Chain A
Amino acid sequence: MGHLFEPSNLSGHEWIDQYAQSPCTVAFEDYIRIYFSSRTKPCASRNYVSRLAYIDVSSEDLFSILKVSDQPILELGKPGEFDEFGTYPVSIIRNRDEIVAYYAGWTRCESVPFNAAIGLAKSYDNGYTFQRMGCGPVLGFAPDEPFILGSPRVKRFNDCWYLWYASGRAWVREKDRLQPVYKIRMAKSLDGLEWQRVGKDIIPNVLEENECQASAEVIYSAGLYHMFFSYRYNFDFHLPDRSYRIGYAYSEDLEAWTRDDSKAGISPSKEGWDSQSVSYPHIFQKNEIIYMLYQGNDIGRNGFGLAKLEHYQDPI
């Protein structure tokens, strides 16, 4: 349906310089709030700091932007904390009368450029701002998940909390840079605080052993669970044919997943803001229509756009 939000068109929001990544919605009565991550101008070391923001769009016309957050919705962590150097991405869910956010917090390291872990925050003002529930991560490192826990996607199905996330597997040297390899994993919880990890990669690779997988968005529809996620090659992913695509898998029980990217039904456009890559899908429903928000070229440098489901065919 087109390009919905271009961050560089904003004025008066110094802290939103470029990028609007990993959109995620919460519905209000008259509008839909789209949370996303943006970046300040890079510092002297050319490193970025990602901050969480939102725009409100009209429920009647999703391309009509009513408001842009005038400050980041979540503070960064203090020195030494897991989220000192960035918050990206975020997954926000309503839970009874609360609005709860799971986000990846970023820190900087000496031997590798960064690390990430998953934090938890809640809003006490109807989603305008969020406060951390603790100064450490709600999902941190474990024996077989040693680093880079990122791109959380939280859902509730059948009175159970589910968290899909990316888990770092290795750091691989590409010329003078180090690139992480990460795979989609899953954890379950009864309260959203104590998480039981499934402890295995749940989506098989199709590109290569070091395929990077992230941002697994799961919906339930027509008797099946459908997962839309992002995947790319490990190296040279700035090249269009090696950069992010949206993959697809389905499951009957949330345990066993069958990958079939050919059924994702969305790929880069011939030209324009999403012609080189598409990634970080988020799915929501409005007036019986299923929509997908996703980021385009260069991992969302020019923001995100909208698609709607035109045709559904049972994948089985």
Chain B
Amino acid sequence: MKWEKLGQIFNPLDHKLPLNCKAFAKSPQAIVFEDFVRVYFSSTETDQVGKLLSHVMYVDYDLKFKSIISLSSHQVIPLGGLGCFDEHGIFPFNVLRDGPIIRAYTTGWNRKVSVSADAAIGYAESHDEGKTFQKFGSGPILAASLHEPFLVGDAFVMKTKNDYHMWYIFGSNWLEHSESGQKERVYKIAYAKSSDGIYFERTSKYIIADRLAQNECQALPSIVEINGTYHMYFCYRDAFGFRTDRERGYRIGYAYSTNLQDWNRDDARGGMSLSLSGWDADMMCYPFVFHCGDEVYMLYNGNEFGRYGFGIARLVSDY
């Protein structure tokens, strides 16, 4: 796979963002309309206790990503109420065009006491071409279960003829750093399947081989089909030191499959690596791959988990 990086296309510091959001434009995910592309992302507001709340918004581009048409100024989807799984943020926000509606698979966040947070996957629908989304209940469609104890999130849903396929992550353990005592999470990619897009059956097994040690963290799978081969991009990192150490932070991983079930991991073949300098030189994360016209693009975040927004790359060759 050979990619041409087209550079950073959205920096939240250059815009007046809605919902009191000031920084971050994380996990860009696109829906291609007839004459524009809508890119959803999550930005953050600082709340009364000084912690971050993630809100979903979107920015519309022309079909070549040359210029911004508009930035949403309204509430696309509300956060959850008191005690709900998505009370403290929605991030990421996966969207799927399905006939007249747009389905959304949200990752909702809620803060905890002994560990920083938990997450679960919610479902919402848009009946107005993606401007607003209505939630399906106040609880999640995919939450902690017998063999998935916490941190269920990062859904990516693909529709095939008869099925909805979901790739997502779930947490396996919270590790305590031997010196600082800080607790850090470990999570990896899993798979679930549904016939209606809402009730998913899961196997609670990790499906992508580790490249780092066993505590490798894998996040945000995204899949694009090209000539019968499925290409999965995701991000992965070390369990510790990933916030500040370039060698331990998020990079883009890759796996391919011909049947959506058996995946061969081959990051080198994926063709995406850190730039030598600039906005994506220290970290690359939260990739989203999609077709637009005759092209295949990857949206992704750069340094500091997307504090400075996202960029785009164009697939030059799938060899």
- A contacts, CB < 8 Å to B: 77-82, 84-85, 107-112, 115, 117, 120, 133-138, 140-148, 168, 170-171, 178, 180, 193
Scan residues 112-142 of chain B and give those whose CB is less than 8 A from a CB of chain A.
112-115, 118, 120, 122-123, 136-141
Q: Which of A82, A109, A143, A180 contacts B113 (CB 8 A)?
A: A109
Q: Contact between A137 and B146 (Cβ–Cβ < 8 Å)?
A: yes
Confirm or deny: B85 has a beta carbon within 8 angstroms of a beta carbon on chain A: yes
Q: Contact between A143 and B118 (Cβ–Cβ < 8 Å)?
A: no
Contact partners of A82 in chain B: CB under 8 A: 144, 149-150
Confirm or deny: B231 has a beta carbon within 8 angstroms of a beta carbon on chain A: no
Closest 7 CB pairs of A and B: A143-B137, A146-B139, A134-B146, A110-B111, A108-B113, A136-B149, A80-B115
Contact partners of B139 in chain A: CB under 8 A: 141-147
* Total A-B Cβ pairs within 8 A: 122
- A140-B141 CB under 8 A given contacts A109-B111, A111-B88, A168-B83: no
Q: Contact between B114 and A108 (Cβ–Cβ < 8 Å)?
A: yes
**Closest residue of B by beta carbon distance from A193:** B146
Q: Which of A84, A135, A136, A141 contacts B140 (CB 8 A)?
A: A141
**Closest residue of A by beta carbon distance from B88:** A111
0/1 interface trace, chain B 151-183, chain A, CB 8 Å (1 if under): 100000000000000000001011010000001
Q: Contact between B149 and A146 (Cβ–Cβ < 8 Å)?
A: no
Nearest chain A CB to B88's CB is how many angstroms away?
A: 7
Q: Contact between A134 and B123 (Cβ–Cβ < 8 Å)?
A: no
**Closest residue of A by beta carbon distance from B198:** A143
Q: Which of B85, B118, B123, B144 contacts A146 (CB 8 A)?
A: B85
Contact partners of B136 in chain A: CB under 8 A: 143
Q: Contact between B123 and A84 (Cβ–Cβ < 8 Å)?
A: no
Contact partners of A80 in chain B: CB under 8 A: 112, 114-115, 118, 149-151, 171, 173-174, 183, 185
Q: Which of A78, A107, A117, A147 contacts B84 (CB 8 A)?
A: A147
Q: Contact between A117 and B88 (Cβ–Cβ < 8 Å)?
A: no
Confirm or deny: B87 has a beta carbon within 8 angstroms of a beta carbon on chain A: yes
The 10 listed contacts between A and B (C-beta, < 8 Å) are A77-B149, A80-B151, A80-B183, A109-B112, A111-B82, A141-B144, A143-B141, A144-B139, A146-B83, A146-B140
Scan residues 48-85 of chain B and give those whose CB is less than 8 A from a CB of chain A.
80-85
Using A136-B149, A141-B120, A147-B139 as known contacts, list a sample of 15 further A-B pairs with CB atoms less than 8 Å apart, ordered by residue number in A: A79-B183, A80-B149, A84-B114, A108-B113, A109-B113, A110-B111, A111-B82, A141-B139, A141-B140, A141-B143, A142-B139, A142-B143, A145-B139, A146-B84, A146-B85
Confirm or deny: B110 has a beta carbon within 8 angstroms of a beta carbon on chain A: yes
Q: Contact between A78 and B173 (Cβ–Cβ < 8 Å)?
A: yes
**Closest residue of A by beta carbon distance from B112:** A109
Q: Contact between A81 and B149 (Cβ–Cβ < 8 Å)?
A: yes
Q: Which of B85, B151, B171 contacts A141 (CB 8 A)?
A: B85
Contact partners of A144 in chain B: CB under 8 A: 137-139
Contact partners of A180 in chain B: CB under 8 A: 83
